[in-house]
């Protein structure tokens, strides 16, 4: 039985890489943000706006435990998931955690293009966005670093790049 959790900052590629990697490893794919949206019939943005971040973190905590009951699954978590409660310890006990590590510069480039669906980044751009990413990544790094495997994920544009991770994971997991 395999259960893998991909963790990392917003824009690290958890959803993008997770889809391809799960196929290569022949595991079911669950994106925790999408799972929450399906269970609550609301977008993550709506949940933040209507209930606030604290309530979202509570939902996220509970839904993480729900998906962790599934077997032979790769779960792409939300960017904040490992950084609240004892979620990272929980994931380390429930399965194999993989941190997709990406630099602030690269994250800022990616997130500039898709920040509208991330409520925490709303209204930030350019240097302010980059400074915010740098500051919050520094706070989150101690949680991300508790992952069993840290994967430098700066460049992973093609299926072949993802295949490299999947091969390396196959030897390490
Ligand atoms: N390896 C990559 N190289 C270049 N761009 C990428 C890569 N991975 C993802 N992206 C782009 O970055 C954006 C964010 O990727 P993705 O949604 O997979 O991030 P995430 O880690 O799931 O973030 P979140 O924590 O917000 O769910 C997307 O627009 C995607 O196209
Ligand atoms: O990094 C975060 O705090 C978040 C990341 C997203 O995946 C979502 O879970 C939400 O937008 C919060
Ligand atoms: Mg995602």
Give the percent of the chain with pLDDT over 70: 97
In a domain, 167, yes or no: no
| Arithmetic mean of pLDDT, 44-69 | 98
Closest C-alpha to ligand 1, atom 27: 78
Average pLDDT over residues 21-38: 95
160 found inside a domain: no
Quickly state the pLDDT bin for 161 (edges 50, 70, 90).
confident
**Structural domain range at position 40:** 3-150
Instruction: Give pLDDT, residue 166.
Output: 73
33 vs 161: which has the higher pLDDT? 33
Is residue 173 one of the residues assigned to a domain? no
Residue closest via CA to ligand 2's atom 3 equals: 80
Q: Domain for residue 48, yes or no?
A: yes
Report the pLDDT value the prediction gives residue 173, as an integer from 0 to 100. 67
Decide if 168 is inside a domain.
Answer: no
Residue nearest to atom 7 of ligand 2 (CA): 78
82 CB near ligand 2 (under 6 Å): no
Residue 159 lies in a domain: no
Residue at 163 is within a domain: no
What is the interface pTM, i.e. ipTM, of the complex? 0.95
Determine the pLDDT at residue 10.
96
Segment 111-115 shows an average pLDDT of: 91
Distance 120 CA to ligand 3 centre (A): 14
Closest to 6 (Cα-Cα) out of 156, 160, 158, 125? 156
Task: Judge residue 41's burial from the number of C-beta atoms within 10 Å of its C-beta, 0-12 exposed, 13-18 middle, 19 or more buried.
Answer: exposed
Establish whether 140 is an annotated binding residue.
yes
The number of distinct structural domains making up the chain is: 1
Q: Say which CATH number the domain at 38 has.
A: 3.40.50.300
Residues having C-beta closer than 5 Å to ion ligand 3: 14-15
Which one has a higher pLDDT value, 114 or 132? 132
Distance 55 CA to ligand 2 centre (A): 13
* Chain-centroid distance, C-alpha 1: 21
List 6's β-bridge partners, or say none: 76, 98
Tell me whether residue 13 is in a domain: yes
Whether 60 shows a pLDDT value over 90: the answer reads yes
Between strands 96-101 and 3-7, the pairing is parallel
């Amino acid at each position: 039985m395999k259960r893998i959790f991909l963790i990392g900052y917003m824009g690290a590629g958890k959803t993008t890489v997770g889809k391809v990697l799960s196929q290569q490893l022949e595991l079911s794919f669950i994106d925790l943000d999408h799972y929450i949206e399906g269970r609550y019939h609301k977008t993550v943005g709506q949940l933040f706006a209507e209930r606030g971040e604290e309530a979202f973190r509570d939902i996220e905590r509970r839904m993480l435990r729900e998906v962790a009951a599934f077997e032979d699954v790769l779960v792409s978590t939300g960017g904040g998931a490992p950084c609240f409660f004892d979620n990272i310890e929980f994931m380390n006990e429930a399965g194999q955690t993989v941190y997709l590590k990406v630099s602030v510069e690269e994250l800022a480039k990616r997130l500039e293009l898709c920040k509208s669906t991330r409520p925490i980044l709303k209204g930030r751009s350019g240097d302010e966005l980059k400074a915010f990413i740098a500051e919050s990544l520094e706070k989150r790094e101690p949680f991300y670093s508790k992952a069993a495997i840290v994967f430098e994920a700066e460049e992973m544009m093609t299926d072949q790049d993802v295949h490299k991770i999947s091969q390396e994971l196959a030897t390490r997991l």
